[in-house]
Amino acid sequence: MRVIQVSGELVFEDGTRLYSNHDSDCCESHYLDFEHISIDDFEGLDFDLSNDNFFEAVDGYGIRLVPTNGFPVPIPGYGYNNGYYSTELELVLSSPDGSSRVFDISDCQEINY
């Protein structure tokens, strides 16, 4: 399956969306940075979203999306807070039928306190 849109999330050709989620409080933020990649980074790449092998977690960095062909696409993760709040970060794969799969990627971010 191919990526057809890159913004604050990825959208695949069947309408599946991939994004990060964090329940933020006032003085914190934790996210995957989709803003610094482009649709060109996904040119000619296909992804198998039917299993959990479509990404690799990279501790202290972010994730790499693993295509069935070509090289992985790195997506950095960032977080900041004052040490009082949670550092939880989730990767969400949301299907057009309303179902979703959620992965804990809390360790996959560069955190500044």
How many angstroms separate the Cα of 97 from the Cα of each of 7, 85, 106? Answer: 21, 33, 26
Q: How many Å apart are CA 69 and CA 30, to the nearest integer?
A: 30
pLDDT on residue 24? 67
Task: Give domain limits for the chain.
Answer: 3-112
- The residues facing 49 across adjacent strands are none
**Position of tokens 């900041």?**
80
For the entire predicted model, the pTM comes to 0.91
Hey, what are 19's tokens?
Answer: 């994004």
Tens-level pLDDT at each residue, the chain (113 residues): 999 999 999 999 999 999 999 876 677 788 999 999 999 999 999 999 999 999 999 999 999 999 999 999 999 999 887 666 678 899 999 999 999 999 999 999 998 76
pLDDT on residue 80? 85
